[in-house]
Structure 1
Amino acid sequence: MPVSTSVPDKGVAVVTVDYPPVNALPVQGWYDLADALLTAGRDPETRCVVLTAEGRGFNAGVDIKEMQRDTGHAALIGANRGCYTAFSAVYECEVPVVAAVGGFCLGGGIGLVGNADAIVASEDATFGLPELDRGALGAATHLARLVPQHLMRALYYTSRTATAAELHAHGSVWRVVPRAELHEAALELAREIARKDGTLLRFAKAAINGIDPVDVHRSYRFEQGFTFEANLSGLADRIRDDFGTQGTQGTQETPREGRA
């Protein structure tokens, strides 16, 4: 299944995304992911959720091909609402969410991990927002939760990526491990969290969200308004077409199939 949930240990639910080839999610995929996260968090037996993915990378954003097939704006609106819903689900999940990130984490992937409670990453993991190369804007709200303000701006304007080791140095990644050890490392942290009292963990999640200095829902929604402007004006299509012909970045680091 593209989005599945398993329970490998008592108190730990694992939500896995599998959309080959690069985990660029279609509109329905974002909603399915949101439902899986919220459902897992509502289960009174769950004390921690691990969010992970199969395949080459963790997430490559939305399925651009789905948007290109749409002659109107329904796919654009759906993708924006779907991303908003999925990012919010990570944040609003009643228990802590540990993101297990292997390979590339781009566009919408930043929205997911930026709202997670903790991140475990593989040594080959890279994080970035190639939005300006794709004619889009968004998820600066979430990148700002991973790196300092000026680094966020430089990464955003250049579409460059940061490594797992760099994010670990900034304190946003809990642990960096070889790719083969990623799953177990994420479960190890989840098990430690799950040993706490379930009710108190829910109180803790709500309390920490309540003292956040930035309202992630309002902030991200504000960003999305500029994505609509870029698309409605035709600017986004021109930039995507230019990028597709010029190939300004390598496909291994920034898969062309997706963006936020």
Structure 2
Amino acid sequence: MDNLTQLKYELIGHVAVLSMNNAPVNALSKTLSDELTATLDYISEIDEVRAVVLTGEGKVFCAGADLKGRSSVIKGPGDLPAHSRRTRECFHAIRECAKPVIVAINGPALGAGLAIAASADIIITSDKGSLALPEIDVGLLGGGSHAGRLFPHSTIRQMMFTGVRIGADELYRLGVVTQVTTPEELLPAAIALATNIASKSPLSIRLAKQTLNAIEDMSLRDGYRYEQDMTAAIAKTEDAKEAQRAFIEKRAPVFTGK
């Protein structure tokens, strides 16, 4: 990952730490979008990464779409649909990454930044973090669909109609984030959580995320049937047998991902 220009990549044990680095506010540019998508696709297919932490450099997580760079990307017919598709696929790359993605919100996550966070598996924030859909103030619409994965009906509409920011304490109260830290504790907390996940069977974690994504829009009957089928598949793996042996022998399991 030596060719990245707006995204930093660091491997800590089995955890990939990705830091958006498009100063000054980590706006989602064409370059950053492409680099996020490519990096997450790469991570999906390598064994050394078992969990991902995604955060932002500086004081802002992501201030949304790169409006200043928009004119250099959208120049003629066909450019807008291509740009919209690129943005959608960036969010899908987070959700569909085979490894769990933990978003660590270090500051405001606005518009596209909210969509990035909502596409992750787990969100934690520092006390400087916030989520908002401010597009109403610049003549655009934001990620209402993504906000729908995090917030109740009236909150989403208030956010979209007014651009109000929801701060860290309220995000925790609503259950949008699982933890609020100081700015200094944010990244260590996210890495600790990711390391915990990385210590589990990588095959089981992969299938667990695949299952949760698949059942999200299913009925209770269909969703639980799918879970049962995946449980049966996991039970046949070497990792499952190792987990059972380790439990009986009262030792830490050694997983191989098979």
TM-score, scaled to structure 1: 0.78
Match of 2:130 in 1: 126
Percent identity over the alignment? 35
Offset from partner CA, 1:123-167 (integer Å, 9 cap, x none): 011100111112222311111112112111111111111012111
Residue in 1 that maps onto 2:68? 65
User: Deviations for 1:61-80, whole angstroms, at most 9, x for unmatched residues?
Assistant: 12111123555356543432
Tell me the distance in 1 between the aligned counterparts of 2:19 and 2:169. Answer: 24
Q: TM-score, with normalisation over the residues of structure 2?
A: 0.78
Q: Count residues with an aligned counterpart.
A: 213
Choose from 191, 202, 210 the match for 1:206.
210
Give the distance between the partners of 1:22 and 1:73, measured in 2 at CA: 29
CA distance in 1, matches of 2:124, 2:44: 19
2: CA distance, partners of 1:143 / 1:183: 24
In structure 1, distance between residues paired with 2:75 and 2:87: 20
Counterpart in 2 of 1:38?
A: 41
TM-superposition CA deviations, 1:145-190 (whole Å, max 9, x none): 1211211111111111101211111112010001111110110110
Match of 2:52 in 1: 49
Alignment of 1:61-210 (within 5 A): 61-69=64-72, 70-72=74-76, 76-210=80-214
Matched to 2:145, the amino acid is T
CA–CA distance in 1 between the matches of 2:78 and 2:188?
A: 40
Deviation beyond 2 Å, 4+ runs, structure 1: 68-79
Unpaired runs of at least 5, structure 2: 219-258
Distance 1:51 1:185, change over 3 A: same
Does residue 21 (structure 1) correspond to residue 24 (structure 2)? The answer is yes
- 1:99-128 CA distances to partner (integer Å, 9 max, x unpaired)? 011111001111111010001101011100
1:56 offset after TM fit, Å? Answer: 2.0
User: How many Å separate the matches in 2 of 1:3 and 1:157?
Assistant: 32
Unaligned runs of 5+ residues in structure 1 are 215-260
Q: Which has the larger radius of gyration?
A: 2
Q: CA RMSD in A?
A: 1.6
What do the CA deviations read for 1:16-59 (whole angstroms, capped 9, x no partner)? 11000111122132111111112112212221111111012010
